[in-house]
Amino acid sequence: MAKSADIYYKVDPWRVVETGFDKEYAVVSESIFSLGNEYMGTRGSFDEGYSGDGLIGNYFNGIYEGADLEKSGYKGIISRTEFIVNSADWLYTRIEADGECADLNTSTFEDFERVLDLKTGILTRSYTWILKSGKKVRLEFERFLSMKEAEIAVQKIKITPLNFSGEVILYSGIDFTQIHHMTGRSMWNVADTTFEEDGITMLGNTVSTDQSLFVSCRFQCDYEEKSDIREDKKLVRRFLLRAEEGKTLSFTKLIRNISRKGTTSQEKDAFQGKCAENSKILAALSYEELKEDTLKWWEDTWNDSDIAIEGDELNQQGIRFCIFQMHQTYHGADKGTIIGAKGLTGEAYSGNTFWDTEAYCLPFYIFNNTEAAKHLLEFRYLTLPEAMERAKALDCKGAFYPIATITGRECCSLWQHASLQLQASTAVAYGYWHYENITGDEEFIFEKGLPILIELSRMLATRGDWSADKTRYGFYGVMGPDEFQMMVNNNCYTNYMGKKTLEYTLDVLARCGAKAAEIYQEIIKDRGLTTEEIEYFRNIAEHMYIPYEKETGIFEQHEGYFNLPHIDIDKIPIEEFPLYHHWTYDRIYRNDMLKQPDVLMLMLMYNRDFTDAQLKSNYEYYEPRCIHESSLSPSVHSILASQLKKEEEAYKFFGFATRMDLDNYNRNTGEGLHTTSIAAAWMNIVYGFGGMRSDGKELTFAPALPKEWKSYSFKIHFGGDVLFVSVDKDNMKISTKKGSGIQVLIYEKPYTLGQEELVVPIAR
């Protein structure tokens, strides 16, 4: 793997610490120190402004804009795309003394430290600012997003003159002029702006999508004089502070951001209502209470989802950073909210959600916050109509889920991906199946899953075709998860996932018919599903072609793959990575190199369908061909390497996944965090070293301890209880919070779990 770690932050088990500020890392640090609470996200930009390179980014889940693309004469190619928009900078601050402005790009400073406390979600920063006159001012900043009241954010600034008494001027406001960096334009029309006695309110509307954002703040500080500055799309209050040597002045800004994504009159009325009562709500907020609630939220969250590693501080920090990001990005507070590939930490990937959600993120939520997993799945139910529209555009029946989306509509302008990749659709079926397999929530599957499954099966029945001799069904002209093979026939992953989707549809239809006749009749009627169609689903599932070479046990990635020219990927010079920047687009398609796992992905998702011998042959064949250009790739390899007892390989891939952003492995963390691969890092410990599998009838474990570690422990929410698992070199210990008698298999042997610790020796 042509990747190398760039260790910049101090290693600490519970904190990310930057000691001394290096401008080279300014943009990367903005991503690393991002805060989020599912509803909104803010990059770790400096409150007081910064004239060097940076991306002040504030994003709201579901607030998006669109852009028209050049119209294509070809059917099925999208002509409009959508992206999450950068919005108002509600942390806007400037600090002035002796006519100088604090700016870490140009000012002299010492003792800089920035700390993201993963245990509490509080971001702090401090430094001593040295003015040209030799005067020194200690500046301390604190911010957090409320985890209880999603619309609320808090900023606190402390100013201490160290060697003088005199005036300090603090400007604080709301800045709607921020451009969306990807388009270079502001996406907001500001409709209303007001200076109030102790705060500011601003209302912005997106330029074309009819959405709104009402930003308001209340200031708390002792000042000598105040005045107001009104600029286009920006309101700022100027405070003249009288500072005394050695005495700390404290400034607090309580912020409330009300976003409106829906455009119905009901949603507009609800938004108006919230804005109308805003001053009352803001006035009642207390910094202490908000902080206490947020600390409590994180304490409860960590109590039930921490992973502890003994003997490896680097990866301990890495995995806690990953878990922290997962909870920040999404915790199921709102049904139908999405997880963008970069979460709410940047503009790359346009804030769009991909198949990553069901294939990589969902397992984290299924086992950490089951309700959140269900809410995440709701998004696909809510956007079934858009997926049906998309199917029509692609000359199919049923539903074709977009490869990248915010609203349910396809946003990917690369037709090779948008038209040829079926994996977003099959991942939806996989997600519903996985959720049901673990929770047994049949009611949800009957009501929300079944309509989707029927429409997905219809798509599969019309997108695929029969071989010339009519004996085999398969998909022609597709691209699998490995995006380095375009327009291939019978991609093994696509065919296998198609077969699984059809089989699951038939299974749910049968169970729903038997157990919930009324719901069944209603859905069948609504969807106009006929017995002939059901029989056809069965027929194509039974005849689905899975390319497989019996003698070697290797699944062929697609028909003809084995005959492609071979490339020794270790001979590609490191400067040529990432390849998509250095090789012509078509060149990457002309050999057997893989961007990311394809057959191996399948072998992880439906692990129990394959023998260890099959896994070994396929791993050993495909792994040396994979360049891991997708950050989703290493974890999958690590998990499977663990299963194959290739310990060193498993550990090597694991380190990469867990510290991908902290160490900027892909050199693009500045664009935003790799949120969905962060989810895979969690899987890496639980599925990899813990050997957990959740695709069978029972939850199974086959733990091992990496030789670099003394022990590790993790927690799993399952069956209404929480499992506490710890592994050291001799034993696996497992108990449950409530002792509800959960059955699991450990190294294939059945056990019933209670509150008392069960000790199982580690298999050698």
Tell me whether residue 356 or residue 436 sits nearer to ligand BGC (CB atom). 356
Residues 598 and 590: their CA atoms lie apart, in Å, by: 17
Instruction: Select the span of 146-154, 348-356, 720-728, 748-756 touching ligand BGC (CB under 6 A).
Output: 348-356
In the DSSP assignment, the letter for residue 72 is P
Residue 595 marked in a binding site? yes
- If we measure between CA atoms, which residue out of 656, 761, 647 comes closest to residue 707? 647
481 binds ligand BGC (CB under 6 A): yes
Determine which residue in the list 86, 93, 676, 700 makes contact with ligand BGC, applying CB under 6 A. Answer: 676
CB of 339 to ligand BGC, least distance (A): 10
490 binds ligand BGC (CB under 6 A): no
Is 292 among the catalytic positions?
A: no
- The tokens for 131 are 């003015």
The answer to whether the peptide bond before residue 363 is cis (omega within 30 degrees of 0) is: no
419 binds ligand BGC (CB under 6 A): no
**Number of Cβ within a 10 Å radius of residue 50:** 18
Tell me whether residue 450 or residue 479 sits nearer to ligand BGC (CB atom). 479
Residues 209 and 376: their CA atoms lie apart, in Å, by: 23
- If we measure between CA atoms, which residue out of 40, 121, 510 comes closest to residue 300? 121
630 binds ligand BGC (CB under 6 A): yes
- Asked whether the beta carbons of 61 and 40 are under 8 A apart, the reply is yes
- Asked whether the beta carbons of 211 and 219 are under 8 A apart, the reply is no
Helix, strand, coil percentages for the chain (3-state, nearest 5): 35, 25, 40
Instruction: Select the span of 30-38, 167-175, 212-220, 347-355 touching ligand BGC (CB under 6 A).
Output: 347-355
636 binds ligand BGC (CB under 6 A): no
CB of 664 to ligand BGC, least distance (A): 17
CB of 582 to ligand BGC, least distance (A): 16
Tell me whether residue 337 or residue 457 sits nearer to ligand BGC (CB atom). 337
Determine which residue in the list 127, 302, 324, 355 makes contact with ligand BGC, applying CB under 6 A. Answer: 355
Residues 444 and 18: their CA atoms lie apart, in Å, by: 45
CB of 429 to ligand BGC, least distance (A): 17
Tell me whether residue 199 or residue 480 sits nearer to ligand BGC (CB atom). 480
Residues 520 and 700: their CA atoms lie apart, in Å, by: 33
Residue 596 marked in a binding site? yes
Residues 611 and 644: their CA atoms lie apart, in Å, by: 11
- If we measure between CA atoms, which residue out of 337, 351, 328 comes closest to residue 145? 328
- The size of the interface with ligand BGC (CB under 6 A), counted in residues, is 12
Q: Which of 483, 556, 623, 671 is catalytic?
A: 483
- The tokens for 501 are 């989707």
Helix (H, G, I), strand (E, B) or coil at 5: coil
Tell me whether residue 596 or residue 607 sits nearer to ligand BGC (CB atom). 596
Q: Mark 426-465 with x for binding to ligand BGC (rule: CB under 6 A) and - for no binding.
A: ----------------------------------------
Tell me whether residue 589 or residue 718 sits nearer to ligand BGC (CB atom). 589
Cβ-Cβ contacts under 8 Å for 662 (sequence gap 6 or more): 7, 9, 16, 32, 317, 318, 321
Residues 254 and 145: their CA atoms lie apart, in Å, by: 10
What sign does the CA torsion over 357, 358, 364, 370 have? positive
Tell me whether residue 137 or residue 604 sits nearer to ligand BGC (CB atom). 604
Residue in the block written with tokens 């940047």: 346
410 binds ligand BGC (CB under 6 A): no
- Asked whether the beta carbons of 253 and 221 are under 8 A apart, the reply is no
Q: Where are the alpha helices (DSSP H) in 474-527?
A: 492-515, 517-527
353 binds ligand BGC (CB under 6 A): no
Tell me whether residue 319 or residue 678 sits nearer to ligand BGC (CB atom). 678
- Asked whether the beta carbons of 603 and 573 are under 8 A apart, the reply is no
Residue in the block written with tokens 């349910």: 408
358 binds ligand BGC (CB under 6 A): no
What is the CA angle 169-175-180, rounded to 5? 140
Instruction: Select the span of 350-358, 371-379, 576-584, 747-755 touching ligand BGC (CB under 6 A).
Output: 350-358
Determine which residue in the list 358, 483, 598, 671 makes contact with ligand BGC, applying CB under 6 A. Answer: 483
- If we measure between CA atoms, which residue out of 10, 76, 86 comes closest to residue 55? 86
Instruction: Select the span of 52-60, 169-177, 354-362, 584-592 touching ligand BGC (CB under 6 A).
Output: 354-362
CA end-to-end span of the chain: 29
271 binds ligand BGC (CB under 6 A): no
Q: Name residue 291's amino acid.
A: K
Q: Name residue 576's amino acid.
A: E
Residue in the block written with tokens 């099966």: 457
Cβ-closest residue to ligand BGC? 354
CB of 634 to ligand BGC, least distance (A): 13
CB of 356 to ligand BGC, least distance (A): 5
Tell me whether residue 251 or residue 355 sits nearer to ligand BGC (CB atom). 355
Q: In the range 6-25, which residues lie near ligand BGC by CB under 6 A?
A: none
Determine which residue in the list 63, 78, 254, 341 makes contact with ligand BGC, applying CB under 6 A. Answer: 341
CB of 591 to ligand BGC, least distance (A): 17
CB of 420 to ligand BGC, least distance (A): 13
- If we measure between CA atoms, which residue out of 498, 493, 356 comes closest to residue 429? 498
Tell me whether residue 16 or residue 627 sits nearer to ligand BGC (CB atom). 627
339 binds ligand BGC (CB under 6 A): no
CB of 480 to ligand BGC, least distance (A): 10
Tell me whether residue 91 or residue 604 sits nearer to ligand BGC (CB atom). 604
Q: Which residues of 621-654 are buried (b: 16+ CB within 10 A; e: fewer)?
A: bbbebbbbbbbbbbbbbbbbbbbeebbebbbebb
Q: Mark 565-604 with x for binding to ligand BGC (rule: CB under 6 A) and - for no binding.
A: ------------------------------xx--------
Residue 709 marked in a binding site? no
Helix axes 450-463, 384-393, angle to 10 degrees: 10
Cβ-Cβ contacts under 8 Å for 578 (sequence gap 6 or more): 629, 666
Instruction: Select the span of 73-81, 353-361, 543-551, 665-673 touching ligand BGC (CB under 6 A).
Output: 353-361
Determine which residue in the list 356, 386, 556, 598 makes contact with ligand BGC, applying CB under 6 A. Answer: 356
- Asked whether the beta carbons of 493 and 481 are under 8 A apart, the reply is yes
Cβ-Cβ contacts under 8 Å for 694 (sequence gap 6 or more): 363, 366, 367, 434, 437, 438
CB of 601 to ligand BGC, least distance (A): 9
Residue 355 marked in a binding site? yes
Distances (CA, A) of 597 to 337, 565, 605, 625, 678: 28, 19, 11, 10, 17
- The helix (H) or strand (E) run that includes residue 252 is strand 249-260
Instruction: Select the span of 175-183, 349-357, 445-453, 543-551 touching ligand BGC (CB under 6 A).
Output: 349-357
CB of 359 to ligand BGC, least distance (A): 8
**Could you tell me which residues are annotated as the binding site?**
355-356, 595-596
- Residues with a known catalytic role: 483
**Site residues, ligand BGC (CB under 6 A):** 341, 349, 354-356, 481, 483, 595-596, 630, 632, 676
**Could you tell me which residues are annotated as the binding site for substrate?**
355-356, 595-596
